[in-house]
Amino acid sequence: MNMHQMASRLVLIIISISSLASASNLEVGFYSYTCPSAETIVRSIVNKAVSDNPGIGAGLIRMHFHDCFVRGCDASVLLASIPGNPTAERDSFVNNPSLRGFEVIDEAKAELEAKCPQTVSCADILTFAARDSALKLGNINYNVPSGRRDGRVSIADEVPQNVPGPSFNADRLITTFAKKGLSKDEMVTLSGAHSIGVSHCSSFSNRLYSFDDANAIDPSMDPSFVELLKTKCPKPPSNIDPIVVLDAITPIRLDNVYYEGLINHQGLLGSDQTLLSSESTKEIVLSNANYGAHWATKFAEAMVHMGSIDVLTGYDGEIRKYCNFVN
């Protein structure tokens, strides 16, 4: 091993140790003394919002994912763009207009500020809200270690560099998740969140009309599914960009039916269907399809692990008073 390789490995080890140290500072019940009603307040607000519009639950889970994959779980995705500063993450083409649920986080923050001023971070509120959405839509419950602090930087250009795209193949997905410390199994398991929510046609219309030089239609798709989607999604270029549910069977239920859709070649996004097409992930898809309770347990564990990515704790970062602006 040469000196450059040794130096690179040392940097990776230092980063890994640093990330583990931050994650180890999180604890279940972090607000037990400083704001004992924190999680109850968030859950109440999330339950009402998701009851009124189940799509908000899918949006909150996705927002948590997009937050954690860019600069770690530091609520940087919540910060608004400010004139004179770089455009913020929430206004990246990846996130705007598709991210939903900001108003739910703002409502929870306002109530918590009235109850326990500058105590509960926006990063923890978002993490609680994602958990509560999984509980409301899928009866998947888990304890959330908390104690995250809020970041002060949010840059739109960093989003496409870190968040996997809808056309990623399995190898690119595995690599992207591995950079965040998540395993191949966790990647496939977390992809099950696509059993709820919607996608704009522009995220997959190439699979219907212009897949590659040899095939106009993605050959991994069920032909009848293609014809159905063509009735909803016009051929590009188009002045409209309709939305389609990610899982037509149980669109507002967080469950493992998503994987059955992949087996039936009805994965909406290329990044979904590739999980069955790839030999490296196929067996995980089949297992998740066959064992729903086990998938739900794995999903909860993977959400906890994802929620610990590059967190700020201790004296790092801050506790924002308003989630869309730094103090």
pLDDT in tens, the chain (327 residues): 544 444 444 444 344 434 444 566 999 999 999 999 999 999 999 999 999 999 999 999 999 999 999 999 999 999 999 999 999 999 999 999 999 999 999 999 999 999 999 999 999 999 999 999 999 999 999 999 999 999 999 999 999 999 999 999 999 999 999 999 999 999 999 999 999 999 999 999 999 999 999 999 999 999 999 999 999 999 999 999 999 999 999 999 999 999 999 999 999 999 999 999 999 999 999 999 999 999 999 999 999 999 999 999 999 999 999 999 999
Say if residue 200 carries a ligand binding annotation: no
Cβ-based burial of 226 (10 A; exposed 0-12, middle 13-18, buried ≥19): middle
Quote the tokens at residue 186.
């966790």
Quote the tokens at residue 130.
């994602």
Say if residue 70 carries a ligand binding annotation: yes
Say if residue 117 carries a ligand binding annotation: no
DSSP string for 175-243: HHHHHTT--HHHHHHHGGGGGBSEEEGGGTTHHHH---SS-SS-TTS-HHHHHHHHTTSPPSS-S---E
- Say which CATH class 31-163 falls into: mainly alpha
Quote the tokens at residue 27.
């604890």
Say if residue 218 carries a ligand binding annotation: no
pLDDT digits (tens, 9 = 90+) for 18-51: 444 456 699 999 999 999 999 999 999 999 999 9
Instruction: Please report, for residues 99, 162, 257, the alpha-carbon distance to residue 318 in angstroms, rounded to integers and kept in the order given.
Output: 24, 23, 40
Catalytic residues: 66
CATH code linked to domain 170-305: 1.10.420.10
User: What is the CA 51 to chain-centroid distance, rounded?
Assistant: 21
| Nearest Cα residue to 307 out of 63, 48, 43, 102 | 63
- Classified as helix, coil or strand, 77 is helix
Question: Which residue type occupies 157?
Answer: D
Say if residue 224 carries a ligand binding annotation: no
Per domain, the residue ranges of the chain are 31-163, 170-305
Interhelix angle 292-306/122-138, nearest 10 degrees: 170
Beta bridge partners of 27: 146
Say if residue 255 carries a ligand binding annotation: yes
- Classified as helix, coil or strand, 300 is helix
| Nearest Cα residue to 273 out of 179, 173, 161 | 173
